[in-house]
Amino acid sequence: MTDHDVFLADCPARTTLDLIADTWSVVVVFGLGHGPRRYNDLRDRIGGISNKMLTQTLRKLERNNLVTRRALSTAPAGAEYRLTPLGESLLGPVSVLARWAEEHADELGDGGSGD
């Protein structure tokens, strides 16, 4: 099997994991999972994310080729975000994790990340 040392030392997997190891990256990717979304639309859909973090996360995802931004020349301005093919390819793996999360939510002692 190949899934043994994958995350140890300085494998590419570590770098990548670090990229999505924050509260919002994965959530935002998922928020775009159904197709393009506008800024406020996306924020609304996610719920609980601040402007700051949404923007910051989107920029980071852009820099890493997971998301693209397109300015709309509509009247009251507008911007549309969508997943790149790379971004879409992330949906699968993350769904697996999501499913695990849902199935075992009750077995986790406390949700506490608290120290």
Partner DNA sequence: CAGTATCCTATCGGATACTG
Partner DNA sequence: CAGTATCCGATAGGATACTG
The residues binding DNA (CB under 7 A) are: 21-24, 38-41, 48-53, 55-56, 59, 69, 72, 76-81, 113-115
CA torsion 48→50→51→56, rounded to 10°? -110
d(CA 67, CA 69): 7
Burial class of residue 2 in the structure, from the number of CB atoms within 10 Å of its CB (0-12 exposed, 13-18 middle, 19+ buried): exposed
Binding residues for a second copy (CB under 8 A): 2-4, 6-19, 21-23, 26-27, 30-31, 33-34, 45-48, 56, 59-60, 63-66, 86, 89-102, 104-105, 107-113, 115
Instruction: Give least dist CB 68 to DNA, A.
Output: 12
Residue 23 or 50 with smaller CB distance to a second copy: 23
Least Å from the CB of residue 87 to a second copy: 10
